[in-house]
Amino acid sequence: MFVIEHLSHAASPENDWIVLVRAPEGLTVVRTVRPLDSGERWIGFYGGATAHDLDVPGMLSALVKPLAEASIPVFVASTSHADLVLVPQQRKHQAVIVLEGAGHQVESGDGEADEPFWSQP
């Protein structure tokens, strides 16, 4: 599971971050949940097993479109190989059903609690 937090420009994240994005309004951090964290928790779908070049259109929309049509909120971070799509933890079951209904194969990570789900077309 993950949390998404916003830090000021002067703040430095701890070393447990997964994604860092610096923008004009500050630093957005996606990191694994810590034992004392409160607030919204997110689970991730990551298509690392189906990595693609940057010039392949439609890969992210194939995941986000069915989730949007089901009114499931997302937070997305992309790499040069694949996309990490986070959904609120309480919507996990619904998201799996929606993605499988859209033709994706969804399986859990390697069994670790912080591992994202894998979504493969």
Q: Give alpha helix (H) positions in the chain.
A: 59-69, 92-101
pLDDT at position 53 over 80: no
Q: Percent of the chain scored above 90 by pLDDT? A: 36
**51 contact partners, CB below 8 Å, separation of at least 6:** 81, 82
The pTM assigned to this predicted structure is: 0.81
pLDDT at position 101: 93
